[in-house]
Amino acid sequence: MIDTMVDSPGRVRVAQRPAGEAADEIRYAAIAEVVAGVLRRRILDGELADGDVLPKQDELMAEFDVGRTTLRQAIRILETEGLLTVRRGKVGGSVVHQPTPEDAARMFGMVMHTRHVTLADLAQALRRLEPVCVALCAGREDRADAVVPRLREVHERMALTVDDGLAYIRASREFHEAIVGSCGNQTMQIVLGMVETLWARQEQLWAERSAAEVGADIRRAGVREHEHLIDLIADGDETLAYRYAVRHLEGAHAYPLQEYAARPVQSGPAGA
């Protein structure tokens, strides 16, 4: 068994070393994991900011008391995780990438794709989660300053798109994203943000058809519903805002679910 640990400030110690070539590979891999763990924490804790370049390999080898092969293994681990990008050539180095909600959404989409989750399943989750964000918006004491003006600004732009189906779909998506972004709860913003992002990718399936088949009168009704939802949020009525959001989403989802309810969601552009 291998016992690896990190001394302050980051030197790796191996308490027990198995013999043999295969055992050496295991030992080096285990040490690389430890080194990667230290660097990972520095990235996630913000000690290494997005866009920073890791110190030169010789410096890291000296700090961790490891060889070049082990260090490169550690860097490859972080590169696979998307936390580093290795630049080649004269201006080389390992560039830091702090994880973003978009990264989380990409992985979330691939998991959903792998499990063949249907559009109906995704829509049901969205209809249950987004109204929670609506209620959170309505419950914010600072909603008059931090929530309502932002929603009204997006809503005004949306109202100008009723004669352009594709522009209306994009503006409607922006409105729903603004609700999530204004709810004040970072966990909900990240979790629901992943769901919203994945749903937006599926919209490519029906966007053009919807733009052609759904008339301006129906889009104007959607604008009125958004306006009423903003009013409920402004009034601070969490219960009514939640219930109205559920009904609104049920109506909005009715069109795509008529044809695509059983279709598995796609992690990339729908139909690709």
Residues of the chain with CATH 1.20.120.530: 102-260
Residues 6+ positions from 225 with CB-CB distance below 8 Å: 244, 248, 251
* Homologous superfamily (CATH) for 102-260: GntR ligand-binding domain-like (1.20.120.530)
Residues of the chain with CATH 1.10.10.10: 4-96
How high is the pLDDT of residue 270?
55
pLDDT digits (tens, 9 = 90+) for 57-111: 999 999 999 999 999 999 999 999 999 999 987 777 999 999 988 888 889 999 9
Question: Out of 3.40.50.150, 1.10.10.10, 3.30.450.20, 2.40.50.140, which CATH number does the structure's domain 4-96 have?
Answer: 1.10.10.10
pLDDT digits (tens, 9 = 90+) for 173-206: 999 999 999 999 999 999 999 999 999 999 988 9
pLDDT digits (tens, 9 = 90+) for 146-178: 999 999 999 999 999 999 999 999 999 999 999
Structural tokens at position 166: 């594709």
Task: Give the residue with greater pLDDT, 5 vs 234.
Answer: 234
Residue 272 binned pLDDT confidence (cut-offs 50, 70, 90): very low
Task: Evaluate if residue 10 carries a pLDDT over 60.
Answer: no
pTM: 0.78
